[in-house]
Amino acid sequence: MSDHCPECGAAWADGRTCADDFHQLLFWENERPELGEVHHLMVLCYHLQHPSLYSAEGLAHARRLLADFVAGGLSPAEVRQRQRAAVDSGQRGWSITGRPGNHGAYERPPLWTMRAQDVVAVGIERYSDSVRRWAADVYDALEMGSQNG
């Protein structure tokens, strides 16, 4: 049995879904704590490729976060510090996650070149490198989409 992910377009072989791949990646990070160094990128990439998991505001926020990490070169600690400042000043009165009536979506679906299943296929030995490549790919695809739109 094979099907396609309605969100990222990945081909699901033998009933294996993107959520299964996401859990595999989380499992690897749990097995090898040093892989947690790219956890923030992995979670962002997965969710950006499945935008309905976000609210509309959450999706916009996540895109800015990815830009901060990939283009801005910020560390998770630096981003957390900035977010704390934003929360303290009451700027975040919205929810990150999708809920009925408010799901993130792209006007034009970006052309993804790499997905969770590709990171799984590369394997645990090169996990950190592939997640960094995944983040760069997702960032490029999103940039390309916003230039065309």
We find the least distance from the C-beta atom of residue 116 to Zn ion, in angstroms, to be 7
Q: How many residues bind Zn ion (CB under 5 A)?
A: 5
Query: Where in 17-56 is the site for Zn ion (CB under 5 A)?
Result: 18
We find the least distance from the C-beta atom of residue 59 to Zn ion, in angstroms, to be 15
Residue corresponding to tokens 């990815």: 66
Any idea what the Cα angle at residue 85 is, between residues 81 and 89, rounded to 5°?
Answer: 165
Of 11 and 85, which CB lies nearer to Zn ion in the complex structure? 11
Position 5 contacts Zn ion (CB under 5 A): yes
- Residue 99 near residue 52 (C-beta atoms within 8 A): no
We find the least distance from the C-beta atom of residue 114 to Zn ion, in angstroms, to be 12
Residue corresponding to tokens 């916003």: 146
Q: Which residues contact 97 (CB under 8 A, 6 or more apart)?
A: 53, 54, 55, 58
Which residues here bind Zn ion, judged by CB under 5 A?
A: 5, 7-8, 10, 18
